[in-house]
A and B are shown apart, each in its own frame.
Chain A
């Protein structure tokens, strides 16, 4: 049979016992038979009630907070739009450069093949 728990063993679980109940039967059994732990449990229940009551308090910030938040959202939105615009332009420049390069390369290939054909014709005539 396991040894009985002491107050010091149960103390760390008392707040959780007050908050959500505990499945630790040995701890519960100890509290049921210990006036000091019962008193501490009651104090924890009071504390948790007082903390929960704070949830209904709403602090009113000094004026201007909403305006500041909306301005920062606006600014972030503008930055995002500018970035998107720049990204779009960059993409357009890059595709323009790529198209020009491709056209140049194609032109060079055509010129080279024409010049090769001309040279071949010349050699044939000379031969």
Chain B
């Protein structure tokens, strides 16, 4: 599996109107239109699923389940939110269910080291390399979080879902979602951007 990095949002995607038209046709019962929606959005959905569950096999299961649920619930999508946001919510819900099942039946495996392909290199190779390194460190730090903390921070800070949507899809209260978000951000900040004294495990003294 490779990571593709695209520049401005949507450069690898059709215009939003094209997706909206496909979704509208699918809602009218056009199966081929829904198949096209799957082709257009699957990489994005898979990316979210992978970030939430942390391995390829589970991510594929989550993606399949998410599209089945989306297809069955397509009539309930009223177009008030973006289709992709609606799909993210379904994917988050499926991932949460999947992780719950996995906790009961399996042990976690270490994530694979994925190859990275940068399709949009910037002008300064040093900057590009530094940015790529940072992204890899952030991805690794996310993968190292417990799933319940990881889910909240990915949905909020990467995918910009509102607190109430996150709480609803993960089956927790808004307060619990906020508490988890705070813990996740603090752990990531301490690991990736430590203050002087935190890096070697010392808590920096607080002046008060």
Contact = CB atoms under 8 A, between A and B. Distances in A.
Interface of A: 6-8, 12, 15-16, 19, 34-36, 39-40, 43-44, 46-48, 50-62, 65-66, 68-70, 72-73, 76-77
B186 interface: yes
B82 interface: no
13 contacts: A8-B206, A36-B195, A36-B204, A54-B142, A58-B4, A59-B47, A60-B43, A61-B1, A61-B46, A62-B56, A68-B60, A73-B34, A76-B68
Interface residues of B, number: 56
Interface stretch (B6-14, B17-25, B121-129, B166-174): B6-14
Contacts of B176: none
B185 A44 contact: yes
Contacts, number: 136
B42 A66 contact: yes
A61 to B, nearest CB: 5
B26 to A, nearest CB: 11
A39 B67 CA distance: 44
A46 B141 CA distance: 14
Contacts of B158: 51-52, 54-55
A12 B185 contact: no
B interface secondary structure, majority = helix
Contacts of A57: 3-5, 47, 135, 139
A43 B64 contact: no
Contacts of B138: 50-51, 53-54
A12 B186 CA distance: 9
Contacts of A54: 51, 135, 138-139, 142, 158
A interface secondary structure, majority = helix
Contacts of A68: 60, 64
B157 interface: yes
Nearest to B70: A73
A76 B71 contact: yes
Nearest to B43: A58
Nearest to B8: A56
B9, B153, B159, B193: most-surrounded residue (chain A CB, <10 A): B193
Contacts of A60: 1-4, 43
A59 B134 contact: no
Contacts of B194: 43
Nearest to B61: A68
B6 A56 contact: yes
Contacts of B160: 55
Nearest to B153: A51
